[in-house]
Structure 1
Amino acid sequence: MDEVRYQEVLKKCCLVEDLETLPFGDLTVIGERGINLSGGQKQRVQLARALYQNADIYLLDDPFSAVDAQTATSLFNEYLMGALSEKTVLLVTHQVHFLPAFDSILAAEHHDLFSLHF
Structure 2
Amino acid sequence: MRFLFLSFRFANIEIKSVKFEDSLFENCYFEDVRSTNTFFENCTIKNTVFYNTDLWEEKFKDCKMENTTFLHPKKGCHLNFLEENDIVIYMVSFLGSLAVLPGNILSALFMDKIGRIRII
User: Same fold, TM exceeding 0.5?
Assistant: no
Greater percentage in strand = 2
Greater percentage in helix = 1
Greater RCO (CA < 8 Å, at least 6 residues apart): 1
Q: Report the structure number with the largest CA radius of gyration.
A: 2
Return the TM-score normalized by structure 2.
Answer: 0.24
Return the TM-score normalized by structure 1.
Answer: 0.24
